[in-house]
């Protein structure tokens, strides 16, 4: 009888079961550890964030003291409302497509309530409180959950929201163009109170003969051509702006009687400008006012820009039809480009043939330091002293000109540094020697079709003074106060001249409030004409 082989299976099975139980035990221990860690994380999350619990169609808010402190900061509730409104608007579109008009109406009603609360908080300029926002947040959240419970098809929801986003983007782009246009239009307009001052001063000029006598005395004064004095020139039709420039310059110098201001305006503003400067005391400084219409030598046969400004096509560009063209950048429709006053800076040697050096100032600057040291600067044979603006690539030549044109690319460096008008020291002797005005005329003729640059005075200035500009210390001229709200206070305080270039001029209501006091302190608020116009 065959013997049965030894059976080793039972002992092997016993050893395998031992290992299985060990692995199961370790797995359970790891599971308990992971569960404890997860529970701890959930407890931490509950202390950091509010929890929305949906129960029987109502919302329960779970708050914590730390949460309350975090959510009471400025705009916190406003931000929550805006996020919910955005989501609710998307569900309105989806609800309407599924004929759930009642839900769409409810969402729209809550959105209008949110908009009213946000506008109310914005008008009073105080943060939205928890008591105001929480009821709307709860009710709008309930409606959003209700919309989610409708189980709309996810593919339909995504496509609907995508088309809605595209429509909103188109509307946003159109609104941006429109707001830019209206902002430009507002920046070009004259505030009612300033227009009132001009009318009152013009009436005085027309009725008071003594004002004419005082103006004639100034016109014949030898100080106007004395090169031992410090001469400044401004070309503007804005009375109050020019007055602030003159007053700030006079107020920040030790010897105001050494200053001579040469102002050129146009016929409509000439009488008011004369009346203002004749009747106001500027600490003994000399102020001459002229009108551009008296410069008979500045005509179409001599000046290409004068010829261009008087052309019918150019004038039609600034008609009501021309302003409707949305393809043109709004800033290039600014009427200042059609004003000859804006181009007089290129004719300073012809306007003042007996002067040797002048400082040119724009009417939207304020002087904070003594400018007389500018007349002692060595320009090293250059014509123009100006502050360069090429700290970044935006103000390089290639940003102003069409360098695909060989006329420019063969003569100028696209990476050349730009500079700014607004505060410029002009050596008129060097100017006449280099025939800079003729160079300016040449480039205006080359750009008769607008192929080299768009409108403006800076591009032709960059070309006319190319290789003839002496860089000044940046602290002489700080720009951007008409558009940049984040200029360093230390830079402003150290600046000799601050420039409100941009649309947000300080004499306009929508000017940047942070910078307005810099300008307002140099406006004669006690002048009778200003007082009458302010009260009436």
Sequential DSSP letters for 333-362: G-GGGG-GGGGGGGGHHHHSTT-SEEEEE-
How would you classify residue 281: left for phi > 0, otherwise alpha for psi between -120 and 50, otherwise beta? Answer: beta
pLDDT confidence of residue 82 = 82
Domain membership flag for residue 25 = no
In this structure, the answer to whether residues 126 and 200 fall within a common structural domain is no
**In the listed set 156, 186, 216, which residue is the last one of a domain according to the structure?**
186
Q: Do residue 205 and residue 172 come from a single domain?
A: no
Q: 371: closest CA among 273, 487, 245?
A: 245
Q: Is residue 11 part of a domain?
A: no
Q: Which residue has the tokens 């729209």?
A: 108
Residue with tokens 């065959």: 2
Residue 238 is encoded by which pair of tokens?
């804005």
- CATH number of the domain encompassing residue 492: 3.90.550.10
CB atoms within 10 A of CB 206: 12
Does 19 reside within a domain? no
The tokens of 294 are what? Answer: 């008296």
- Residues forming beta bridges with residue 470, ordered by sequence position: 385
What six digits make up the tokens of 510?
């929508």
pLDDT number for residue 287: 97
Shared-domain flag, residues 177 and 104: yes
User: CA nearest 81: which of 141, 124, 123, 122?
Assistant: 141
291's enclosing H/E stretch is: strand 286-291
375 and 520 together in one domain? yes
Q: Which residues pair with 232 in a beta bridge?
A: 261, 359
Return the pLDDT at 57. Answer: 40
User: Number of helices and strands (H, E) in the chain?
Assistant: 20, 12
Per the structure, the count of domains in the chain is 2
Which residues constitute the domain of residue 107? 71-186
300 and 441, same structural domain?
yes
User: Do 260 and 130 reside in the same domain of the chain?
Assistant: no
Choosing from 170, 186, 202, the residue where a domain stops is 186
Per-position pLDDT tens, the chain of length 536: 444 444 444 444 445 556 566 655 655 565 555 555 455 554 444 444 443 343 434 334 343 433 333 334 445 678 788 888 877 887 787 778 778 888 888 888 888 888 888 888 877 767 778 888 888 888 888 888 887 776 555 666 677 667 777 777 888 888 777 776 666 666 666 677 788 888 999 999 999 999 999 999 999 999 999 999 999 999 999 999 999 999 999 999 999 999 999 999 999 999 999 999 998 889 999 999 999 999 999 999 999 998 888 776 555 555 544 444 545 555 545 556 668 999 999 999 999 999 999 999 999 999 999 999 999 999 999 999 999 998 765 688 888 898 888 888 888 988 899 999 999 999 999 999 999 999 999 999 999 888 898 878 999 999 999 999 999 999 999 999 999 999 999 999 999 999 999 889 999 888 899 999 999 999 988 888 888 887 76
Is residue 330 included in any domain, yes or no? yes
In a domain, 440, yes or no: yes
> 137 and 277 in one domain?
no
Residue 197 domain-assigned (yes or no): yes
Tokens of 67: 């949460």
Predicted TM-score (pTM) of this structure: 0.68
What pLDDT does residue 78 have?
80
Closest CA to 481 of 420, 392, 406, 398: 420
Alpha-carbon gap, residue 59 to 33, rounded angstroms: 33
118 and 240 share a domain? no
Which of the listed residues 186, 216, 243 is the one where a domain comes to its end?
A: 186
Asked if 333 and 377 sit in the same domain, the reply is yes
**Residues 278, 152 share a domain:** no
484 and 446 in a common domain:
yes
Same domain, 320 and 343: yes
The answer to whether residue 47 is domain-embedded is no
Three-state DSSP class for residue 511: coil
- What is the Cα–Cα distance from 185 to 379, expressed in whole angstroms? 39
Quote the CA–CA distance of 410 and 405 in Å, as a whole number: 9
Question: Would 101 be classed as within a structural domain?
Answer: yes
Handedness of CA 503, 506, 508, 514 (dihedral sign): positive
């Amino acid at each position: 009888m065959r013997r049965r082989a030894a059976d080793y299976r039972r002992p092997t099975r016993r050893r395998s079961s031992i290992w299985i139980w060990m692995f199961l035990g370790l797995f359970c221990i790891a599971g308990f550890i992971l569960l404890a860690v997860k529970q701890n994380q959930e407890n931490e999350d509950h202390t950091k964030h509010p929890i929305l619990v949906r129960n029987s169609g109502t919302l329960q808010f779970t708050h914590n003291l730390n949460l309350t402190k975090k959510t009471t900061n400025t705009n916190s509730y406003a931000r929550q409302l805006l996020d919910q409104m955005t989501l609710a608007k998307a569900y309105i579109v989806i609800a309407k497509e599924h004929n759930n008009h009642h839900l769409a109406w409810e969402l729209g009603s809550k959105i209008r309530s949110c908009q009213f609360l946000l506008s109310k908080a914005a008008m009073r300029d105080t943060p939205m409180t928890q008591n105001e926002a929480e009821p709307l947040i709860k009710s709008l959240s309930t409606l959003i959950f209700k919309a989610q419970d409708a189980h709309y098809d996810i593919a339909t929801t995504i496509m609907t929201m995508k088309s809605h986003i595209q429509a909103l983007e188109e509307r946003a782009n159109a609104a941006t163009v429109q707001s830019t246009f209206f902002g430009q239009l507002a920046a070009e307009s004259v505030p009612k109170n300033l227009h009132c001052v001009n009318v009152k001063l013009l009436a005085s000029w027309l009725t008071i003969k003594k004002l004419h006598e005082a103006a004639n005395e100034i016109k014949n004064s030898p100080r106007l051509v004395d090169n031992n004095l410090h001469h400044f020139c401004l070309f503007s039709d804005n009375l109050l702006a020019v007055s602030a420039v003159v007053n700030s310059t006079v107020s920040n110098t030790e010897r105001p009687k050494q200053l001579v201001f040469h102002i050129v305006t146009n016929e409509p503003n000439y009488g008011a400008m004369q009346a203002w400067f004749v009747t106001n005391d500027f600490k003994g400084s000399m102020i001459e006012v002229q009108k551009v219409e008296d410069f008979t030598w500045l005509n179409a046969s001599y000046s290409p820009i004068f010829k261009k400004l008087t052309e019918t096509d150019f004038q039609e560009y600034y008609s009501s039809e021309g302003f409707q063209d949305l393809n043109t950048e709004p800033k290039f429709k600014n009427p200042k480009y059609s004003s000859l006053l804006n181009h007089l800076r290129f004719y300073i040697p012809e306007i003042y043939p007996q002067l040797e050096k002048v400082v040119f100032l724009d009417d939207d600057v304020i002087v904070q330091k003594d400018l007389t040291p500018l007349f002692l600067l060595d320009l090293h044979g250059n014509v123009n002293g100006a502050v360069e603006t090429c700290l970044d690539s935006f103000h390089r030549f290639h940003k102003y000109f069409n360098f695909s044109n060989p006329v420019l690319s063969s003569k100028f460096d696209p990476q050349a540094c730009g500079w700014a008008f607004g505060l410029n020291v002009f050596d008129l002797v060097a100017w006449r020697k280099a025939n800079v005005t003729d160079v300016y005329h040449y480039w205006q003729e080359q750009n008769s079709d607008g192929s080299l640059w768009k409108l403006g005075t800076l591009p032709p200035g960059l070309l006319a003074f190319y290789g003839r500009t002496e860089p000044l210390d940046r602290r002489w001229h700080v720009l951007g106060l008409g558009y940049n709200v984040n200029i360093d206070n230390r830079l402003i305080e150290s600046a000799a001249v601050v420039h409100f270039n941009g649309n947000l001029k300080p004499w306009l209501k929508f000017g940047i409030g942070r910078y307005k006091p810099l300008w307002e302190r140099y406006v004669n608020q006690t002048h009778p004409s200003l007082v009458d116009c302010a009260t009436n």
